[in-house]
Amino acid sequence: MRQLAIQIPKPCPERWDGMQPTEQGRFCANCQKAVVDYTALSDRELLRLFSQPVVTTCGRFRDDQLNRTLVLSDPIGVSVWQRWVGLLTMGLFGWHITQGQSVQTRQVSSQTVERPYFSVAEIPVRPTAGSGAELVVSGRVVLADSGGNLSPVSADVMISGTRKLWLARTDSSGAFVVTIPHQTEITELKVRAYTSDRSRGQIIFNASPSDRSITLDDVVIYAPELKANITAGGICLVKSPSRWQKFWQKLF
């Protein structure tokens, strides 16, 4: 999904601070549903997240994230048509090579050549982590005041990957532990921490297949300079038509 618009037709009147914290975010007593805070996500992260089935139906967004088309730009600037032309060129080039090899094969004499025999020892296979393996990520969230002093703080924690999102909440000492699936390749993960007054901070780390547990540096959060308008409620996703759909709409 490369284009998407997020709408909240009926904003929820409940205050975020008054909702009960849960593993997914907060629980709204008014609609009896879990509400996830998406205010820290970028357009690209929202598109990747909502391109897959989402369990929750209620969310909390900044007003600038709503009622506009979110577009996933191509990081390498290659259009779909350029990809097709490239694939077609590679296919034709491969076909010519195959034809040339076939002609050369027919010109080789039928003389039988004895191939030497080599004894190859069996190579042991290193066991890999199964699908049920997990990675434990732990850390601490601290608040930086105007004097530069750091103190533990209670905050919501969000760990985001390429297409996944994991949530947690710190304890009274600011510590948190999040268990995520084992990473089969080196993956860049982002940790965001934020409090009810929108103080926030983040760090980025890499998880490799050999990792079973990672202890992060302290996540330092800072108060925001500007207050953003926030809206929460039931999520409505409006998908933009594809190029082919737009083409057929113009024809008919």
Strand stretches in 145-211, DSSP E: 150-152, 156-160, 165-169, 175-181, 187-194, 200-207
Helix intervals (H) in the chain = 43-50, 80-107, 243-251
Domain assignment present for 221? yes
User: What is each CA distance from 168 to 24, 26, 42, 184, in whole angstroms?
Assistant: 7, 11, 19, 23
Do 216 and 243 fall within a single domain? Answer: no
Which sign does the torsion angle of CA 147, 152, 157, 162 carry?
positive
- SS3 state at 115: coil
| One domain, residues 53 and 68 | yes
Residues 240 and 212 in one domain: no
Question: Is residue 123 one of the residues assigned to a domain?
Answer: no
Domain that holds residue 14: 3-73+234-247
Instruction: Judge whether 183 lies within some domain.
Output: yes
User: Residues 155, 199: one domain?
Assistant: yes
8 Å CB contact between 141 and 193? yes
Residue 97 belongs to a domain? no
> Which residue, chain included where needed, has tokens 């532990």?
177
Residue 196 sits in the same domain as residue 239: no
Residue-level pLDDT at 151 = 83
CATH number of the domain at 141, please: 2.60.40.1120
Does any domain span residue 113? no
Residue 219 and residue 148 share a domain: yes
Q: What is the pTM of this model?
A: 0.48
- Tell me how many domains the chain contains: 2
pLDDT by 10s per residue, the chain, length 252: 567 888 998 888 888 888 888 877 888 988 888 888 888 888 888 888 888 877 667 888 988 889 888 876 554 444 555 566 566 666 665 655 555 555 555 554 555 555 554 444 444 444 444 445 788 999 999 888 766 677 888 888 988 876 788 888 899 889 999 988 878 888 889 898 888 777 788 889 998 888 889 999 999 887 665 556 788 877 887 776 666 666 666 665
Do 135 and 211 contact (CB within 8 A), yes or no?
A: yes
Residue 22 falls inside a structural domain:
yes
Do 170 and 209 have their domain in common?
A: yes
Distance of alpha carbon 128 from alpha carbon 14, whole angstroms: 47
- 157 and 207 in a single domain? The answer is yes
Within-domain flag for 120: no
**One domain for residues 66 and 144:** no
Give the C-alpha distances (Å, rounded to integers) separating 164 from 46, 53, 106, 131, 183: 10, 11, 54, 16, 12
The CA distances from residue 73 to 41, 49, 66, 177, 178, in Å, are 16, 15, 18, 34, 31
164 with 243, same domain? Answer: no
CA distances from 144 to 101, 139, 152, 183, 251 (A): 68, 16, 9, 32, 59
Q: Does 67 share its domain with 145?
A: no
pLDDT at 85: 58
Provide the 10 A C-beta neighbour count for residue 39: 21
CA geometry: angle at 213 spanning 209 and 220, to 5°? 115
Residue 222 falls inside a structural domain: yes
Residue 238 and residue 217 share a domain: no
